[in-house]
Structure 1
Amino acid sequence: MKVLHLNAGNETGGGMNHILSLLNKLDHDEVILGVLEEGEMVQRADQLGIQTEKFKQAFPFDLSVLFQIKRYIQQENIDIIHTHGPRANVLLRMLKSKISIPWVLTLHSDPNDDFIGHGMKGELFMHLHKRAIRSADHCLAISERFRTRLLQMNVPDHKITTIYNGIDFSVRPEVNLQREELGFREGDFLVAMVARFEAVKQHELALNSFATFLKREKRAHLLLIGDGTLEDQLKRQCKALEIEDHVHFLGFRPDVEALLPMMDLTLLTSKSESFPLVLLESARAGVPAITTDVGGVDKLIPSRKYGWIIEQPEAEVIAGALNQAYSLKGIELESIGESFREFASSRFSLHHFAAQVNQVYHLFPEIPTKVECNG
């Protein structure tokens, strides 16, 4: 069997890690990563030995790429096409009537939130994306909430499978960075937020919450790991809140797994998520998290024993959770982090995740052989 995974290729965060982790776990001889743009994702795929195919687009709405994809499917005898992300999904809807293979789609994010802040163009593409989703032969939802969203979009129940993300909990960084290397001291309270600087991640809420918390705890620092279109705006907000000395923009970092172990806490204030990989990475590092109540986070943090879920996304409420965590700094907070790691590792392994995806591929009777999982 050959499965072509199609994505825009411009992912740098959880979506990229989701796709690459899955492909790396499946048999490399039977999966291909198809991209519409070259970037960090292709570089990482090459490092992992994952076969890639670049479909060239002159601009994001260049439909000549459809002929390239169709020709590749025919020439390489592709058995299934698996799309990830709005652009790939919309293109496949246009191509679906021209190909005769099953189309599987993974819903990584809420379609209603994908184009926040993009005006009328965003509204149009949101509607096109929803139509595309309804056309897929099968949809993978990365949380029960996303399954509900698909049902609300009139996707039939039998065409939906809920599959939670997984990561390899045996992975450890070759070298753990030390606080002193980034200019911090042992007694500082370090909070990391790993997220793209885009509206859906609600960094402004995180900054307002942290500013409220900082009024009480002057040794706290917020480390923002990522990049995006709102970076300058967020830096201005820090200056207006007079917290610029306690908020650190680290940019996009390929070594997040080396940074997390030095943290006391991770923070996620997203408006919408599926099943955030950054929380799984935090669990792997044994670092507890505070997160808004999005996607499937309740499956990962089912009680206060494992972290904090904020049901009311308000600055005062999040600041209160930060205060609680700070009061536990030391053995108690470390104990929560260890419980978080043990709970997540027993339920959300990469092997289990890949095996579930493999089962979906074999829902189609015309698929003759089995895609094997590595390891």
Structure 2
Amino acid sequence: MKVLHLISGGETGGSRKHVITLLEQFEPSEVTLAIFQEGALAEEARAAGIRTELFAQKSRYDLSVLKRLAKFIQAEQFDILHSHGPRANLFGIYLKKKTGIRWVTTVHSDPALDFVKGGVKGTIFTKLSMYAIRQMDHYFAVSDRFKQNLVSLGISAEKVQTVYNGIYFTEEPAESALLHVPDHAFVIAMVARLHPIKGHEIVFDALRQLEMKPHVLLIGDGPIEDELREKAKDLQDCVHFLGFRKDVANIYAASDVALLASYSESFPLALLEAANERIPLISTDVGGVGELITPGETGWIIGAGDAHALADAIRGAMQADVKAMGEKLYEHASSNFSLDQLHKATKEVYVKIASR
């Protein structure tokens, strides 16, 4: 059985980590990664021994790549196409029709929200993305809630498999990064693309409500960085833009709490990575977060877009025994969200689909 994973290649967040860690679990002969551009994903994939093929585009609208991909699929005799992300999903429509390959996807975000603030182009691409989502043979949902979201789009529940994300859990936390914050400061790490769906503005609103402000580290880059920097000018003493970082584990290890403020997620790997570093979580009630966090014991769950609730959660965290909560979270996460379960469940679906 041979599976071709298709992704744009420019990803720097959770979908990048998900793809690499998933493919690492398979034999090299079983999986190939196809990308449209070089970047951190391709670099890490090759370093992990994953066969990675570049199908370069002159621009993201260069459709000549489709013929090359179709020839590659036929020449290599792949059994399954596994797409990740809006662009790969859109291209999958042509590839399935041209080659007849079985087509599955992991939906890493809400397709209705992928092109927020995209103007007319965003509206068009959203409609195309929603059309593509309905054309696939099978779907991986990274939480039961997300499975229900797909079913609400008219997709048969029989075609959707819930497969929880997983990571490598280590016996000891990483070495703490050196942070340029005052001694004894309460530190919150937020690993998220700088994108409207991630809720950074709500974080800023919440911080303005606090008399005692924590130091918030924003790890990630994205299309609205300049806009967010402008909106956080009055918070520059406590909000720190760190950009894309490869030492996320070390930053988590040096932090007191991890924060997710998204309006929509499937099952965020960033929170599992924080759990591995034994720090509790503050998260909006999105995706499978409720299956990871026990409120009051391993973290706090709040409503999306609720700055007042977020401010209250931060106050609670600053008064809590975060070390004890982090240890309890680690015990739960390492027992239930391993890479082994991710690999086994994914391969079972591949075998079932390929045998049809």
Q: Indicate the TM-score class for this superposition, using the shorter chain for normalisation.
A: over 0.9
1:356 is aligned, of 337, 345, 348, to 345
Deviations 1:62-89 (A, max 9, x none): 1111111111111112111110011001
Which residues in structure 2 correspond to 1:242-261 (within 5 Å)?
242-261=234-253
Do residues 107 (structure 1) and 86 (structure 2) align? no
CA distance in 1, matches of 2:275, 2:174: 18
CA-CA distance at 1:231 after TM superposition? 1.4
1:346 is aligned, of 335, 341, 344, to 335
**Range moving further from structure 2, 141-150 or 186-195:** 141-150
Q: 1:93 to 1:172 in 2, by over 3 A?
A: farther
CA-CA distance at 1:174 after TM superposition? 6.4
Ranges of 4+ aligned residues in structure 1 off by more than 6 Å: none
Which residues in structure 2 correspond to 1:263-282 (within 5 Å)?
263-282=255-274
Match of 1:5 in 2: 5
CA distance in 2, matches of 1:150, 1:184: 43
CA-CA distance at 1:95 after TM superposition? 2.1
Question: What is the one-letter code of the residue matched to 2:336?
Answer: R
CA distance in 1, matches of 2:246, 2:285: 27
Q: Alignment RMSD, CA only?
A: 1.5
Do residues 46 (structure 1) and 46 (structure 2) align? yes
Deviations 1:341-367 (A, max 9, x none): 100110000111111111110112537
CA distance in 1, matches of 2:98, 2:222: 36
Match of 2:197 in 1: 200
Question: What is the one-letter code of the residue matched to 1:48?
Answer: A
Structure 2 unpaired stretches of 5+: none
CA distance in 1, matches of 2:180, 2:354: 58
Match of 1:79 in 2: 79
CA-CA distance at 1:100 after TM superposition? 2.5
TM-score where L is the length of structure 2: 0.96
CA distance in 1, matches of 2:112, 2:171: 34
Match of 2:228 in 1: 234
Structure 1 unpaired stretches of 5+: 368-375
CA distance in 2, matches of 1:37, 1:81: 18
How many percent of aligned residue pairs carry the same amino acid?
43
CA distance in 2, matches of 1:302, 1:91: 40
Deviations 1:103-133 (A, max 9, x none): 1111111011111000121111111111111
CA-CA distance at 1:175 after TM superposition? 4.0
CA distance in 1, matches of 2:280, 2:174: 22
CA-CA distance at 1:97 after TM superposition? 1.5
SS across alignment from 1:363? helix
Contact 1:210–1:222 at 8 Å: present in 2 too?
no
Which residues in structure 2 correspond to 1:147-226 (within 5 Å)?
147-170=147-170, 175-177=175-177, 181-213=178-210, 215=211, 217-218=212-213, 220-226=214-220
Match of 1:90 in 2: 90
CA-CA distance at 1:47 after TM superposition? 1.1
